[in-house]
Structure 1
Amino acid sequence: MGAFDTLRIANTSLGAHQVWLDALADNIANVNTVRSTDQDAFRATYVVLDPRADGGVDVEGFAQSSAEGRMVSAPDNPLADADGYVRMPDTDMSSQMSQLVMAQRGYQASVQVTKTAQDTYTAALQIGAR
């Protein structure tokens, strides 16, 4: 492992966690998005990660939830069909919040690794300067 591999690996983790946090924020913001029954439901985005051989991680792509969503009876909603139904996303808020905590903790851990590595490299440079 090279001298700066720790920073590179932590940087890939920071990027992956940031993408995950962004996707979760969008999912949570749209958990109550109502659509008419002739439209697709809001589709939650899930980040697909790919481990790298050098210890880092890449964002491989994105997966989305079903466009079918779930039908909810809401006869007073202006988007309701003739039977009084609207289409809602099938996103589970508790799952999204749990993932949000995991993504935040992962991001914080990556920041701490970066800070510790920078402090170590700075100390090594100061020792070499003496």
Structure 2
Amino acid sequence: MSMLTALKISSSAMNAQMMRLNTTASNLANIDVVGSTSEEAYKAKKPIFKTVIENYTQDNFGASVSVNGIFVSDRENTSRYDPQNPLASRDGYVFMSNVNSIEEMVDMTNASRSYQTNVEVMNATKKMMMSTLQLGK
């Protein structure tokens, strides 16, 4: 595997983790959004990652990460009695988002650590490339 392949793999992983952070941020931003019905209430979203294997031979291996889609949670939205809310149904209920803040914080931490790990891989690869260039001196 060439060093450029290592950079490409880390770059694709960083892009995937940025998508994960973006969906987490969206979920946390919409945690208090209510709707008149369960269908109108905000549903948590999660990216679906896919491994893409390229040029697989015994001497060459290239893999990357791509975002294959966005999964919308099918967890039930809870209802709350709030007849004063302008979005309340005829029965006086509003439906809360199905976002779990603890899950989102764990996802955010994991995505951030994975992103940082890939930054370290890129830095190590860059250092190795620079060391290789210094061999000729």
Q: Same fold, TM exceeding 0.5?
A: yes
Who is 1:73 aligned against? 81
Shift of 1:3: 2.9
Structure 2 residue aligned with 1:21? 21
CA contact (8 A) 2:78 2:97 kept: yes
Q: With structure 2 as the length reference, what TM-score do the two structures score? A: 0.85
After TM superposition, give the deviation of residue 52 of structure 1 in Å: 2.0
Q: Alignment length, in residue pairs?
A: 129
For residue 17 of structure 1, give the secondary structure of its aligned residue in structure 2: helix
Shift of 1:68: 5.8
Q: TM-score, normalised by structure 1?
A: 0.89
Q: Could you tell me how far apart the structure 1 residues matched to 2:103 and 2:80 are?
A: 20
Partner of 2:120: 112
Aligned equivalents of 1:34, 1:9: Cα separation in 2 = 40
Q: Name whichever of 46-55 and 21-30 sits farther off.
A: 46-55
CA displacement at 1:45 relative to structure 2 = 1.5
Residues 1:82 and 1:118: Cα distance change in structure 2 (over 3 Å): same
Poorly superposed stretches of 4+, deviation over 6 Å: none
Q: What letter is aligned with 2:81?
A: S
How big is each residue's C-alpha offset from its partner over 1:39-68, in whole Å with a ceiling of 9 and x where there is no partner? 511122110000122332111111112396
CA deviations on 1:45-95 (whole Å, 9 max, x unpaired) are 110000122332111111112396221222332222232210111111111
